[in-house]
């Protein structure tokens, strides 16, 4: 895992895009098959302390570093840190947390 030299403010989260597989289980390469999806999967790399409530209390985030989450395809602001590309999103842009059920 990369170490970031950027700490986001408030409820901002720095995410790394998860590359979507374009190869079927049988080994057939399907170019641009996932480009029409309205959501994308990202991994949380760093996060701010949380959202500030109206009373001034910090509300902790519901995600942790390493979590995989879904965000809208057009959500976030692309940023570059140490030649790596990330997305800076706020908590309101998160659609859900992906969990492995065994």
3-35 pLDDT, tens per residue? 556 788 888 999 998 876 666 666 666 555 555
> pTM higher than 0.85 for the full model?
no
Domain residue ranges of the chain, discontinuous segments joined by + = 12-98
CB proximity list for 76: less than 8 A, separation 6 or greater: 15, 87, 88, 89, 93
DSSP structural state of residue 65: T
Domain spanning 12-98: which superfamily?
Answer: GroES chaperonin (2.30.33.40)
């Amino acid at each position: 895992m990369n170490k970031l030299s950027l700490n986001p403010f408030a409820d901002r989260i720095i995410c790394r895009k998860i590359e979507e597989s374009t190869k079927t289980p049988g080994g057939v390469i399907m170019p641009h098959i996932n480009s029409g999806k309205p959501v994308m999967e990202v991994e949380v790399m760093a996060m701010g302390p949380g959202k500030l409530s109206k009373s001034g209390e910090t509300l902790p985030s519901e995600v942790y570093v390493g979590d995989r989450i879904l965000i809208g395809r057009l959500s976030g602001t692309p940023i570059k840190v140490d030649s790596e590309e990330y997305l800076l999103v706020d908590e309101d842009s998160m659609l859900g947390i992906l969990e492995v059920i065994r």
